[in-house]
Amino acid sequence: MKKRDQANLDAAYLDELIEVITVDANGEDEQLWAFRQAFESDVSVPCEATVIGEPVKVMKFDYDGNNRRALTAMCRRADGTNYVVAASDLVIPLSASGGRYMAAYRKWMGLAPLQRGTRARTVQQAAVAPPDLDGPIELVVLSVKQKSARCRLLGGDRTFTFRTGRLWDLVPGEIAVIRPAKQWIYAGNPYLSGVIESTRLDARALRLIPLRLEERGLWNPAEHYWGEEGEPIEDWAKPIIARGPRPEFEMEQVLPGADSDDPFSDPIGESNDRKDSGDREGAYKLLMDLCHTDLRCLDAHSHLGNFVFDHRPQDAVRHYEAGLRIGELSLGAGFHGVLPWGWIDNRPFLRCMNGLGLCLWRLGRFEEAGRVFDRMLWLNPSDNQGVRFLIDHVRAKAPWEGSR
């Protein structure tokens, strides 16, 4: 293939280069391996590049088989530290062999080519900082990835990719108060970096449309199974029975990406399958993508809590509570109905409640845990999650470890 300079690097040339690289590759995975081989064989490393305006040396291109992550590049900063980025984030001079291959790779991915002149623009470099970024600002956290978070301005629609050194402090659905350091535009997308000053949970401030509640008839305690005949009614059930019949409801379930025409289309199930097969990174990303698309995906919040429940209950409790508070937007202060487990779409909300109660108990917050479990029994007297077997331990302030 004839080598071309930057001025002659047109779409036809890139199509030709893509065809040469992927000629014997079938499917996305094989084609990514083919691109990795092309970079390894034809691009001399280390090579010069920039990442978000920062000069780096590219030490290695790689592909680990995760086609969602695609090609990666190990970069070295001027201070000698190494880090890994998505290869598509690199800006390499188009006159260099690496630039031509990068342009072909980005075209294959459906991305616009990046020019060498694309640079970061900091707030300090701007003549006048945008007024909405001058001083501490509040961001709604939409999703959190390894090196960045997607956020939008509280009370507005403007979104950013946010970079900071403490991403583990952020949870989708929470509000972060940050002090901006700099902003820039990269590949047409706005970026922001800064320091997290505080976080809080305020579901009403998120401006979300409450999930619909569909009335499903009347729940009657007289028709409910309360145990074997002749056995005493348990104490927790007596006030529920005395309250009498109540309306029952099913809460709308939001599941972005699910195909309503395909009964096997289930992003949550796919995330669980990835987690069980050892692809925890892919499973985590799927859940975060669901939150990014719609913070009202309660099952994503509950499964993010499950993700860290065993080792970081102090983080899991925040995921569960975010889902619970978003769901509560549909109930209002005076809600007295029933949300039975038998109506399937109620389960994400009930799973958030159960996870929250377990975390509160585990963290020694017994009174809060007891209130959550009490409310679960009122909302779902069938108690499919087994709260009735735990609540006495919580009221007795028995430690979590000794009661399992």
Domain boundary among 172, 206, 240: 206
Question: CA 259, CA 341: separation in Å to the nearest integer?
Answer: 23
For residue 148 the two structure tokens come to 């960045």
Indicate if 168 and 225 belong to the same structural domain.
Answer: no
CB-based contact 387:354 (threshold 8 Å): yes
Domain boundary among 187, 206, 225: 206
- 277 located within any domain: no
Indicate if 177 and 219 belong to the same structural domain.
Answer: no
**Tens digits of residue pLDDT in 265-312:** 788 999 999 999 999 989 999 999 999 999 999 999 999 999 999 999
Contacts 24+ apart (CB under 8 A), 367-372: 369/394, 370/394, 370/395
**189: enclosing H helix or E strand:** strand 189-200
Indicate if 244 and 326 belong to the same structural domain.
Answer: yes
User: Is 209's pLDDT higher than 50?
Assistant: yes
How many structural domains are present in the chain? 3
Indicate if 38 and 105 belong to the same structural domain.
Answer: yes
- 262 located within any domain: no
Indicate if 217 and 192 belong to the same structural domain.
Answer: no
Question: CA 157, CA 150: separation in Å to the nearest integer?
Answer: 12
- 263 located within any domain: no
Number of H helices, E strands in the chain: 12, 12
- 118 located within any domain: no
- For residue 330, the domain's CATH number is 1.25.40
Amino acid at 145: K
Indicate if 229 and 318 belong to the same structural domain.
Answer: yes
- 123 located within any domain: no
pTM of the full structure: 0.67
- Mean of pLDDT over the chain: 84
- Cα-flanking dihedrals φ and ψ of residue 311, to 5°? -110, -20
Sort strands 189-200 and 159-163 into parallel, antiparallel or unpaired: parallel
Indicate if 219 and 186 belong to the same structural domain.
Answer: no
Indicate if 29 and 98 belong to the same structural domain.
Answer: yes
Amino acid at 255: L
Question: Higher pLDDT residue, 69 or 223?
Answer: 223
**141: enclosing H helix or E strand:** strand 137-144
Tell me, what DSSP letter sits at residue 114? P
N- to C-terminal Cα distance for the chain?
A: 67
Indicate if 222 and 351 belong to the same structural domain.
Answer: yes
117-121, 166-170, 191-195, 354-358: which is most confident: 354-358
Domain boundary among 174, 206, 238: 206
- 65 located within any domain: yes
Indicate if 219 and 351 belong to the same structural domain.
Answer: yes
Question: CA 102, CA 74: separation in Å to the nearest integer?
Answer: 15
Indicate if 360 and 227 belong to the same structural domain.
Answer: yes
Report CA torsion sign: 391, 392, 395, 397: negative
User: Is 120's pLDDT higher than 60?
Assistant: no
Tell me how far apart the 2 most distant CA atoms of the chain are, in Å.
Answer: 90
**Tens digits of residue pLDDT in 84-100:** 878 887 888 776 768 88
pLDDT, position 132: 53
Report CA torsion sign: 252, 258, 264, 269: negative
Which strand ranges, in their side-by-side order, compose the sheet holding 82-86? 82-86, 72-76, 54-62, 47-51, 90-91
Picking from 95-99, 160-164, 213-217, which range would have the lowest pLDDT averaged per residue?
A: 95-99
CB-based contact 137:180 (threshold 8 Å): yes
Tell me, what DSSP letter sits at residue 338? B
CB-based contact 339:350 (threshold 8 Å): yes
pLDDT, position 147: 81
Question: CA 206, CA 155: separation in Å to the nearest integer?
Answer: 7
**72: enclosing H helix or E strand:** strand 72-76
pLDDT band, residue 264 (cuts 50/70/90): low
Question: CA 80, CA 45: separation in Å to the nearest integer?
Answer: 15
Contacts 24+ apart (CB under 8 A), 75-78: 75/49, 75/51, 76/46
**Tens digits of residue pLDDT in 36-68:** 998 988 888 888 888 766 788 898 899 888 766
- 116 located within any domain: no
Indicate if 150 and 74 belong to the same structural domain.
Answer: no
Question: Which residue range is the domain that position 378 belongs to?
Answer: 213-254+294-403
- 300 located within any domain: yes
Question: CA 296, CA 256: separation in Å to the nearest integer?
Answer: 10
**Tens digits of residue pLDDT in 304-339:** 999 999 999 999 999 999 999 999 999 988 899 999
